[in-house]
Amino acid sequence: MADYGYVRVSTLEQKECRQLVAMNEFGVPDGNVYLDKQSGKDFNRPAYKLLLKKLKPADTLFIKSIDRLGRNYVEILEQWRIITKELGAAVVVIDIPLLDTRQKDRDLTGTFIADLVLQILSYVAQTEREFIRQRQSDGIAAAKARGVRFGRVPMARPEAYTELNYAWARGEISARSAAKLLGITHKTFLSWVREC
């Protein structure tokens, strides 16, 4: 019987401190905490996959909240089933004490309520992911409408570009030679030529 923790943040910039503190408070050993810095849209995450291989019957998996497990309604329910039924491990959702499968003495009503809460929270997690994606898309569209440009700043063309472009167009120099003289890649030179 071992305790494990699963921690997930969506991006490399986000901090996992709150979740790690919660794992510590519940006595999960540091070496048993698995961390992914990746979207919750699916369960194709390296640390999560390793964790599933470690879980044995009678082990307990702690997660801070259901959306840290994932944000896909159907897949959350499927992973919950795999962990609790196939692997025989317990799951404790720290923020929702009702979602603690260690409680073996639940009657049918208690189990029904816990399953219902799990389904509702899984639905909310997926809906929030969809809202985030829509807000992001709206924000990008609004920024583009204001003239904001995304991506890398285009490389400035060296002074010698125009002269070498004319030489290339007249067949006096190859594109590779022109690119080499400009200190750029062959692909960049050809891209600049197409833009003109």
Residues annotated as catalytic are 10
Enter the DSSP assignment of 88.
-
> Is 69 buried (19+), middle (13-18) or exposed (0-12) by CB count in 10 A?
buried
Phi-psi region of 146 (alpha: psi -120 to 50; beta: other; left: phi over 0): alpha
Residue with tokens 């390296």: 46
**How many other CB atoms are there within 10 angstroms of residue 178's CB atom?**
23
CA distances, 121 to each of 5, 32, 85, 127 (Å):
19, 25, 20, 10
Token readout for 171 is 């067949």
